[in-house]
């Protein structure tokens, strides 16, 4: 064998290995296996930011491999075709897979009446109620696990409820994330057991639990939601509309089946998170305990369910502002309200879970709260959080 032939063989296999590694790495860093390996969040952000260059480099490597193949003929054409398919699958996986698996319902969500939804839901199922200017929508947790995002105009506001199953966290936001136009939200990935969304209009990334954007100023208006059972929702909001996800695609049932066992593990208090990307040093609570977290002006506070039960009306301050946490034993609901109206502190003798008081100020303004989020996720993102337990 000539020296040029030896060099060509060595050269060919080096390029083949580099192409394979580059392809596989791209797919891994942008999907769940990367989180299973605890790859840095910054790698995911960097790939997304420069994805066009990564895809171009991948295709150039593949093209060069084909060129070397035409010279050395060390592989069969069939093997080269399989290699090509592998590269293309990796590119699709890295850039399009999660958006294909989890299509958001920001603009085409389907809503039904409470009576219609009652045929599909059990009384103990969890639902998130969003009330704006007297207009109410309900978002059952089980219907949010595939789309992650469902939108509507509620009370004159174009909003979207975003949901992360790994965090057990709903967050309601304005569909204009601060760019002067409606966003086009999609799913990118999850990092540190929390959803990362992409606005396909602006190209920005949004971390759900903090609502911080990656490439622009974070100016996202959030709206409150109330976590309750379906049984309570029917009684409190009998005239509301309820979001339903139809599970029409053939892959929907496969996804539900595939994620059933992992999600059982995620809720199991005896197990750690299914993705080992969280700082679990804060052991003030069991990692899987659900808390009601409030984040304002750089300060955070979290309430456990047990604290709410034993302190059904609890006044506190955050960043110099007065608030009250209210628990309803009848409906097992935790909500937080501002105690400030027109710059004055509201004084009351009685208050209910909807913020209705016996004072001259009437109903208080509910504030956005991270309802039912796992302590392990909350404490990871907000390690300085105050805890009421």
Q: pLDDT by residue (tens digit) across 94-121?
A: 999 999 999 999 999 999 999 999 999 9
Residue written as token pair 């207009």:
135
Same domain, 114 and 91: no
Which pTM was predicted? 0.93
Element at 66 (helix H, strand E): helix 51-72
Q: Which of 114-128, 213-227, 363-377 has the lowest mean pLDDT?
A: 213-227
**Looking at the predicted structure, is the pLDDT value of residue 326 above 90?**
yes
* Per-residue pLDDT at 8: 80
Same domain, 336 and 372: yes
Question: For residue 123, what are the domain limits?
Answer: 110-267
CB burial string 42-58: b at 16+ within 10 A, e below: eebbebbeeeeebeeeb
- 69 lies in some domain: yes
Q: Which of 54-63, 137-146, 178-187, 312-321 has the lowest mean pLDDT?
A: 178-187
> Three-state SS for 380?
helix
Same domain, 116 and 237: yes
Of the three residues 62, 95, 128, the one that is the final residue of a domain is 95
Nearest to 241 by CA among 154, 329, 337, 123: 154
93-96 long-range contacts, CB within 8 A, separation 24+: 93/27, 93/30, 93/31, 94/26, 94/27, 94/29, 94/30, 94/31, 94/47, 94/51, 94/54, 95/30, 95/51, 95/55
Same domain, 67 and 137: no
- 24 lies in some domain: yes
């Amino acid at each position: 064998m000539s020296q040029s032939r030896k060099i060509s063989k060595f050269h060919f296999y080096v390029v083949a290995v580099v192409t394979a590694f580059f392809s596989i790495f791209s797919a891994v860093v942008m999907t769940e296996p990367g989180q299973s390996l605890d790859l840095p969040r910054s790698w995911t952000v960097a790939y997304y930011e420069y994805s066009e260059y990564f895809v171009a480099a991948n295709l150039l490597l593949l093209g060069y491999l084909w060129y070397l193949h035409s010279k050395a003929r060390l592989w069969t054409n069939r093997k080269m075709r399989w290699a090509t398919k592998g590269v293309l699958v990796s590119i699709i996986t890295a850039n399009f897979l999660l958006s294909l698996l989890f299509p958001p319902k920001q603009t085409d969500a389907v809503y039904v009446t409470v009576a219609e939804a009652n045929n599909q839901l059990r009384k103990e199922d969890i639902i998130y109620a969003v009330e704006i200017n007297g207009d109410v929508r309900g978002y059952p947790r089980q219907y949010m696990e595939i789309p992650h995002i469902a939108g509507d105009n509620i009370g004159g506001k174009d909003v979207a409820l975003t949901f992360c199953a790994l965090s057990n966290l709903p967050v309601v936001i304005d569909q204009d994330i601060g760019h002067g136009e409606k966003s086009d939200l999609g799913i990118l990935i999850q990092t540190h057991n929390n959803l990362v969304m992409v606005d396909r209009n602006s190209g920005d990334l949004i971390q759900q639990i903090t609502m911080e954007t990656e490439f622009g100023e974070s100016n996202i208006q959030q709206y409150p939601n109330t976590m309750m059972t379906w049984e309570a929702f029917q009684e409190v909001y009998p005239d509301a509309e309820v979001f339903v996800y139809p599970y029409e695609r053939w892959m929907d049932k496969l996804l539900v089946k595939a994620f059933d066992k992992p999600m059982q593990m995620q809720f199991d208090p005896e197990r750690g998170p299914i993705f080992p990307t969280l700082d679990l040093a804060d052991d003030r609570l069991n990692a899987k305990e659900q808390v009601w977290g409030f984040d304002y002006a750089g300060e955070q506070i979290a309430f456990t369910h047990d604290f709410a039960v034993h302190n059904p009306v609890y006044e506190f301050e955050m960043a110099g502002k007065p608030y009250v946490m209210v628990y309803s034993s009848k409906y097992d609901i935790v909500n937080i309200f501002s105690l400030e109206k027109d710059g004055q502190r509201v004084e009351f003798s009685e208050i209910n879970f909807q913020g209705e008081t016996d004072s001259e100020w009437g109903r208080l303004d509910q504030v956005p709260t991270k309802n039912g989020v796992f302590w392990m996720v909350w404490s990871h993102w907000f390690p300085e959080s105050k805890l009421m337990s």
